[in-house]
Structure 1
Amino acid sequence: MRWNNKYLPFLGLIVVYIIGAVKIDIMDIDAAQYASIGREMADNGQFLEVQFRGKDYYLDKPPLLFWLSALVFKVIGISNFSYRLIPILSTLLGMYALYRFCKLYYSERTAYIAALVMGSCQAFFLMNHDVRCDTLLTNCVIVSIWQVAEYVKSRNWKHFVAGFIFAGLAMLAKGPISLIVIGAAFFVDFVLKRQWKQLFDWRWLLGLPIIVLVLLPYCVGLYRQYGSDGLYFYFWEQSFGRITGESEWDNSPGLFFQSHNFLWSFLPWVLAFIPGLVTRLRDIIKQRFLLPVADEAISVGGFILPFMALSTAQYQLPHYTFVVFPLAAVWTARFLDKLIEHPETSSFRWTRIGLIVTSCVMLIAIVGLCFWAFPLQNIPLLIVAILLAVLIVRLYNGKRPGFSQLVFAPFLTGLGINLLMNAHFYPSLLKYQAGSVMGQKVAEDYSANVKDFYIYELAPVDEYNIFHSALDYYTQRTTPVLRSLNEVKQHFKPKSTLIYTDEQGLKSLNTAGLRFKEVHKVQNFHVTGLTLPFLNPALRATETHPRYLLMAD
């Protein structure tokens, strides 16, 4: 690859990120809930005391994502893109931070590869459209690690201050897990280098007031709403409680849950990461756990220890370990760069074969999703996909330079696959998310009736049946929930009242003799829990359930 074209791959990433940001609706449950909280915050102006649907009971996540999205909503309005704008910008900053961090210890090419690997792994494509707190957390953590590493090298206090500011912002994004990653990274590095003075340097304590200042507004809001219980939840129970067992959340995921998820979330690079991990650990063992000062073990400690700790938690979701993926990119890039220098080796050949196999598996998967599950009919997009596939095959040719075979070909695989996912698969899938479809229908076709729009929900209050968040986001309103026929009768206005409900609610209204006409119907599916029967067009109807938009007659 010519170095004067080195920015083109990142431009490609930005294009695919933005396509996803614009074309994909916000997904229930988490992303839509966070977007709805930000919308509500923009409306009520209560930034210190986080509310959800007008109530002070949302304690689960810190407010950085809510604050930033609320500010963007106030400036450019509410849309798919506006919710994702700051997270995408943070990812660009995160890639730059990883590049600069790697340059402190490795070659320019290794740093460049690391940034490409980070931005093009499956987790980062997902994080930049299904935006949760992890996007800001991950990028703030890698910026903090870069700045603290700069301080360790130069003793320049501006890097010290910036490092701890971003550590505080990472805590505002998702809590103390950020300090676990940052602390583990430098603890292992100092220990393996026997830099005891660095480890016990009293100046690290000066970073605590910086973090406290960053956290202070949130802590004030927490104390106002929940007292000392809110502070205890944030600083301990939310993160550590899931490991110690104090948290009530428990889905019994198993010890290898995160390892299994890593196999898909780090595609297309996972078969380069694994030998890179083995090689790195083997080198450390050969050196008898004593590294030279010029080397780094920050990526070792920052990945392995948090990954192991998170794998033991009693409640886990796949995205919980995304925070350490930039450090996995360091190992991967280090390994690939060494292979590029020695294309004659068996390691080069086997890694190339592994990446080709990975690309083929991803190609088979995307063919299934975009030509069987949801047939692609966009001819220009199909032509682009075919051209990319031809280019990828040519780049894997053994006569091509090592960089093209081991880096650019798998990078284009990830880029091309997610171009199809963001431009076609996800928009097709989200047609089955009734909340966003109905919310946009009401906002566009029944804007005059929004003030008389209600959800009719007969499930118990604490059970998820009809999700509210996407509906609230797209109608830009906290939609009242009616839970009895008496409440429906109280709000019944002929030719004005709109009701969003399910089959149970429709049956209840018809049995009571209330006159409503159906104005829209959508087949609903919980899109973040895909099943093979749903993906199969012949069986999809067995997996979906109708949702109705009704108007008082």
Structure 2
Amino acid sequence: MASTAPHPNPLPKAERELVSERRQFWLLMLFAIVMLGIGIGLRDPWPSDEPRFTLAAKQMVESGDWLFLHRGTELYADKPPMLMWLEAASFEIVRNWRVAFLLPSLLSALGTLLLVYDLGRRLWNRKTGMYAAMAVLMCIQFVFQAKRAQIDPLVVFFITAANWGLLRHLLCGPNWKLFWFGCFCAGLGVITKGVGFLALFMLLPYVWATLRGWNGVATMGAGAWWRWPLGLVATLIAIALWLVPMLLIAHAHADNPIYAAYVNNILFHQTAGRYAHAWHHIQSPVYYLPIMVYAWLPLSLTYPGSLPSWWRALKAKDARIFLPLGWMVLVLVFFSASAGKRDVYILPIVPMLALITAPYLEEMLNARWLRLLCALFVAAMGTALLALGMYALTTHPAFAAKLAYTRGFDGPQNCLWWMCIVIGAAQWILLAFFRLRRAHWALAGGMLALWVVWGLWAYPLLNDSSSSAGLMANVRAHLGDHDEIGLVDWKEQNLLMLDRPAIDFGFSAPTSQQFTQATQWQVAAPATRWLFVQEPAMGHCVDRSKAIDVGHANRRNWWLFKADAVIPGCVPAANADDDETGD
């Protein structure tokens, strides 16, 4: 008889499950990296905020001043410097602004996913951690912001890191080092966007749960009272990393009122003043309720199942649900109380929402109602994009031409509509393949297809018009090697994409004042000095026949001219287009 070699002992079931879960985790991270990172390097900063922050970071690198942000010749006091620090540091590593300006957002989003995964794993199990991270990825607003170089992905990361440290201490602890770490991250969130302190609201539901004897809260011991105030110390240390040197340098320039105005603006006007007396984005008290539905699709499809589950958990006094949920409510109330509201303000809620949804996701996905909602969502998105693309291709509607003109897009418009058709077709193909039984897989694939096509197709297609790269290339083409250029009523993308030295006459100064100073500068060397001006700022003070219409971009017309085109003694009226967020 032929001998048979003995088979090695199979791995124990628990170990096999662990290997499988680890494999699934790395597949999830690969999925996340592709979804969030695809397209990096294929575009420049797009308005409204990206060029502003990248310009400040670029000037930081060029000037060596890492404490006071600049926008051209002016100090920029609207935001703390954390994002700009990270963009500048990224550039010092990769030496490419197209990559560097998006790296902080990508790393912040990936870090947020890892933190949510770890919380789900420790509070429940690895599968729950996987569901929690995937739930965050299945939120359109989260991914959209993660693919932009704005402050919000970074502040979401710091607030989530703070929540991670606090919840590890409050529910899995005691672990005072992680508590202090969480408080420190809250301070980093403060010097990122001012609202990082919101993470500390987590202590309020913890106090309630402790007093009411909820299940799962960690017992700290009576002798630990002195450790709690050290959390505040950790928060203040993080804030002091920027605040103390900034105040010292500002004090050293006490004879310059510009620095005093900077300190007042960034510490008071843009924080408490903006919250208590908002001057723009005025919305109703219930503004965020629909945002939590449509902006958080498809994650919000789980509400019909998660709301009853949370209620049952609260009745069972489960602190794992109560602390994050109570924190979410407090943050929502905080932002709703201010008259000024923007959809991104409540984005830090999403990771905690995903965390407390994850324990019930497997049960919900086994239910027909959620698979049906997933299928309907994929079908609706696919149908809408297919219909839009085919309608625009076949009828050439007026709105398509108007959209292309207002955005300065002079490329082939058909490419835009074919992009819609490709995304829409991908949704239907995935739905047909996975069918209702695995509709959630079709939804995940559909989201991936959307963001992959957006990154690989829309980025290069729209970049020249959206970033003003095409406009400023046209401007450079008219300048000689020894010519100089001055900017009037300019936008950050103009200076950023000009890619050569320029003179500006302030950014926030009245446009008539800028124009007057610019023409005085120009007459000192009329043969070599050009002015680049937004059309309304010119008024009737420029002879258009002697000026060059360099193009339309970001909903604005732009002109280039020398001194012979300026009507002597003419001062244009003030330009009303001063909204920085209008892009």
TM-score w.r.t. the length of structure 1 is 0.79
Q: 2:494 aligns with which of 428, 452, 471?
A: 471
For the 8 Å contact 1:185–1:297, the answer to whether it is kept is: no
Q: How many residue pairs align between the two structures?
A: 499
The equivalent residue for 1:220 is 244
Structure 1 residue 282 displacement after superposition: 1.8
Partner of 2:158 in structure 1? 140
* Pairing 1:283-322 to 2, within 5 Å after superposition: 283-287=312-316, 290-291=317-318, 295-322=320-347
Q: CA deviation at 1:100?
A: 0.2
- Letter aligned with residue 209 of structure 1: V
Structure 1 counterpart of 2:226:
202
- 1:191 maps to which of 198, 208, 225: 208
Distance in 2 between the 1:14 and 1:394 partners? 24
Corresponding position: 1:107 with 2:125? yes
Aligned to 1:337: 362
Q: Distance in 1 between matches of 2:104 and 2:301?
A: 31
Alignment check: 8 A CA contact 2:534 2:559 kept: yes
Distance in 2, matches of 1:368 and 1:319, equals 29
Kindly, what percent of the aligned residue pairs are identical? 18
Cα distance in 1, alignment partners of residues 184 and 29 from structure 2: 27
* In 2, Cα distance between equivalents of 1:148 and 1:131: 28
Partner of residue 484, structure 2: 452
* Deviation (angstroms), 1:312: 2.4
Separation in 1, partners of 2:304, 2:74: 50
> Amino acid of the residue matched to residue 206 of structure 1?
L
Q: Deviations over 1:418-452 (max 9, x none)?
A: 22333334554454437343235556x57865961
- 1:423 is aligned to 456
Aligned 1:480-499 pairs, distance under 5 A: 480-481=504-505, 482-484=514-516, 486-487=519-520, 489-490=522-523, 493-494=526-527, 496-499=528-531
Cα deviation, 1:246-301, whole Å, max 9, x if unaligned, reads x35243211222222233321222111x22452244224533xx336xx3423202
Change (3 A) 1:231 1:509: closer
**Residue 510 of structure 1: how far off its partner (Å):** 4.8
1:391 CA drift (Å): 2.6
Q: Normalized against structure 2, the TM-score is what?
A: 0.75
Structure index of larger Rg: 2
Deviates more, 1:361-370 or 1:224-233: 224-233
2:169 paired residue among 151, 158, 163 = 151
**Given that residues 16 and 415 in structure 1 are in contact (C-alpha distance below 8 angstroms), is that contact kept between their aligned partners in structure 2?**
yes
- Call closer, same or farther: CA 1:442–1:298 in 2, change over 3 Å: farther
Partner of 1:393: 432
Q: Is the 8 A contact 1:185 1:300 kept in 2?
A: no
For residues 202 and 365 of structure 1, what CA distance do their matches in structure 2 show?
59
1:546 pairs with one of 525, 541, 557: 557
Question: 3-state SS of the aligned residue for 1:126?
Answer: helix
SS class of match (2:552): strand
AA partner of residue 249 (structure 1): W
Q: Structure 2 counterpart of 1:546, which letter? A: N
Partner residue, 1:435: 468
Amino acid at match of 1:500: F
Give the C-alpha shift of residue 60 in structure 1: 1.9
Per-residue CA deviations over 1:53-96 (Å, capped at 9, x if unaligned) read: 2223x322111001111222333335232101122112111110
Counterpart AA for 2:447: G
Contact 1:20 1:422 in 2 (8 A): yes
Q: Cα 1:221–1:370, aligned 2, differ >3 Å: closer, same or farther?
A: farther
SS of 2:347's equivalent in the other structure is helix
What's the offset of the Cα at 1:143? 1.6
> In the alignment, is the contact (CA less than 8 A) between 2:473 and 2:498 conserved in 1?
yes
Q: Does 1:13 align with 2:13?
A: no
**CA distances 1:170-212 after superposition (whole Å, capped 9, x unpaired):** 112111x2222x2223421442343696599431211222222
Alignment gaps of 5+ in structure 2? 1-16, 251-257, 393-399, 401-412, 506-513, 565-583
CA contact (8 A) 1:190 1:198 kept: no
Which 10-residue stretch deviates more, 203-212 or 313-322? 203-212
